[in-house]
Amino acid sequence: MTSLKVAARPTAPIQVNPLHRLETINSASEPFCSGVLRALWGFTGDMRPWGEWVKRQILAIQLIDYILRGVAQVMFVNNSLSGLLIVGGLFLQNPWCALNGLLGTAISTVSAIALRQNRDAVSAGLHGYNGSLVGILMAVFSAKGDWYLWLFIPNVLLSMLCPVVSSALSAITSKWDVPIFTLPFNILICLHSSTMGAAHPFFPQTSETETCSFCSLRWIFSQRQVFLSVPVGVGQVFGCDNPWTGGVILLALLLCSPTICFHAILGSIAGLCTGLALAAPPADVYSGLWGYNSVLSCIAIGGVFYALTWQTHILALTCAFFCAYVSSATSKLMSVLSLPACTWPFCLSTLIFLLLSSENPALCRLPLAAVSYPEENRRYLRQLKAWGRAQSRIIFDSSEHLSMFWDGVTSECVRTVKHHENTRLLSV
């Protein structure tokens, strides 16, 4: 038999729709893009995935994370990457001050671990930020200048006392469920400055006029200096008058929470406007000395300890202006004792606003155990409201069913009574 060969019919090339090809590319790139965004998102907020990973590492890696979070907690930020950016900004300002700040944070954190303080608080940097401020400001107020290595001795001693003072103050403030803020730093720095004084042979302190004027008195009012004083006011929280350092700190705040960054800028502007309105010396205004306390107050009220609403936003601005007035009064009172004002105005004004009693449901102060960054606090408030609505709905439904039950019971009782009455009449 001869096999018949069937000629293959030529097939036309399949035309691929360009839109289909684009959809295929997009669908293939979607997992990659979502993975990148998810990875970047993990470095914002409180970096919870990173924190869970750090818990499984050796103590040295954990300690580095605790130190960076401790530096960032000065600005109410629980983010180690933000802390790393802030440390970079401090080295940009003055490496000696930055080194003392890191040393103070490390000693304070290690002391808290040795004293068996709450490990969650230690890992969040809550036992490091006071030590960070103690180390930085001790270097700023020292009259011996930079790289005076003997300064490490009082730095280590006072940083070791930070968790002790913090624990003692927490036992008092916990009765009202309010934080201690930077009260340990204020107490220890004022104690050190008043003990040493300006004439001490080993650890002399600079005078009040020197520490309160980092900028030249020849400065006059100018739009440029007014603009630069906003980031400088943020940087002065760490004792830095470099606008680039303030810009780096704002970038670190933006990485963690845009709300915190926004309120930091508003607080600095509020302090600046108050200083100009009260005709303060231009050197003090431009150097950010009128802004740093207002920065901290505005952040604390504007979304950290209060759930963010437009009412709490106005409350935060009010607290920032009030804090600037308190700063002016406190600086004059402390100058009589030749002591720096530190952050006493921030602590006083913010505690007053946190202890505010109001029946307005929009002014919701969060319990300390639930405090996080503002965006997370707002999600917590929404979940709390949803839970409350669900509970009220359950109670309403239960009360409705209970009412129907009692109505049925009552009608049945009435019918029973009528039946017995009719039976009695018939028997008579």
Q: Is the pLDDT of residue 24 over 70?
A: no
Structural domain boundaries, residue 185: 46-207
Place of tokens 């869970």: 52
Dist. CA 85–CA 250, nearest whole Å: 10
pLDDT tens digits, 235-254: 999 999 999 999 999 999 99
Label residue 39 by pLDDT band (50, 70, 90): low
Boundary residue ending a domain (207, 232, 255): 207
How far apart are the C-alpha atoms of 408 and 400, rounded to whole Å? 12
Determine which of 12-16, 182-186, 319-323, 338-342 has the lowest per-residue pLDDT on average.
12-16
281 shares a domain with 341: yes
Query: Does 234 share its domain with 179?
Result: no
What single string gives the DSSP state of each residue in 354-400?
HT-----TTS-BPPGGG---HHHHHHHHHHHHHHHHHHHHHHHHHHH
Whether residue 305 sits in one domain with residue 277: yes
In a domain, 410, yes or no: no
- 150, 179, 207 - which closes a domain: 207
Return the ∠ at Cα 341 (arms to 335 and 347), rounded to 5°. Answer: 145
Amino acid 35: pLDDT: 60
Read off the pLDDT of residues 332-368 as tens digits, 9 standing for 90 and up: 999 898 899 999 999 999 999 999 988 888 898 999 9
Looking at the domain assignment, is residue 421 inside a domain? no
- How many domains is the chain built from? 2
Give the pTM.
0.81
CATH assignment at residue 176: 1.10.3430.10
